[in-house]
Structure 1
């Protein structure tokens, strides 16, 4: 399932391309933002004008965004959490999931959160999580429209596409 989820994430991130978002100082390659992940080995290749080996991209995503959710049993929920974590980070993703599940929002994927995720109805969770994610992005854009307003439509579109994909995954 990881390979399918990674393909979807890379599609949503625009592929294996280097770019810079208008409001950001640092570049992004295949969804990996240099400012957030300056230690990623792929930057050494990019700085030399080379394309990083795909295995560096794959390993990065597995270690940082898939592995934290490995104990989530439902493949659809796991895939959606993985995709969301790529965009929001693992801790914010877990907090959002905890909010949807009615748990204390500490951002830790501990035994209670894992148990709640593993006993959740996948369709209900995916729907509610998607709505909570859209609300999160909307609040972020409303709080700082100059910085985030231009991303809101893209975030919502990505969230809806991820939801549709998660329903069909697994």
Structure 2
């Protein structure tokens, strides 16, 4: 999973149009500082970034308890890119395709986890990725418009990655060792 995130997030960036400011491996300077990093963002280590991903996106969202790695990767990816919208869209998707009545609060709690582990992965992922695309369309105005093609490509890259995954939990192991 970490290798995938590095692939889509890339290295150091300081795009004037990106509200995240300076980032490395997709980790914003603010986020790195909140975790105690004090150096230049260009020097942020892979290990430091990995720990932030593990703590703030993977463990915090209980993705280690999601039985399907494809679903776990998809939610982690969207959450890295869009904060709690990744979980909110997962909750909305579950409500839509399964008729559940989950609270759409962006918190992956026990009820959301149970619903994720019972859902049909293919149906969930198809609708979830469409929801992710619609979300990007909805925020692609003003200075964000320049990022829309990249965001849409991110979803396509994720779909292609997921097609080539098996589901034996080895993809998530990088965060659990």
TM value normalised by structure 2: 0.81
Alignment size in residue pairs: 157
SS at match of 2:2: helix
1:135-161 deviations in whole A, cap 9, x for unaligned?
Answer: 0110111xxx21211111110010111
- Return structure 1 stretches of 4+ with deviation > 3 angstroms: none
Residue 61 (structure 1) aligned with residue 53 (structure 2): yes
Distance in 2, Cα, partners of 1:150 & 1:156: 12
Offset, 1:78: 0.7
Provide the alpha-carbon RMSD of the alignment. 1.8
Offset, 1:108: 1.8
CA contact (8 A) 2:66 2:113 kept: yes
- Counterpart pick for 2:39 among 28, 38, 45: 45
Q: Mind listing any 5+ residue stretches in structure 1 that lack a counterpart? A: none
CA contact (8 A) 1:77 1:126 kept: yes
Q: Mind listing any 5+ residue stretches in structure 2 that lack a counterpart? A: 96-101, 168-177
CA contact (8 A) 1:134 1:156 kept: yes
Distance in 1, Cα, partners of 2:44 & 2:147: 27
Residue 78 (structure 1) aligned with residue 72 (structure 2): yes
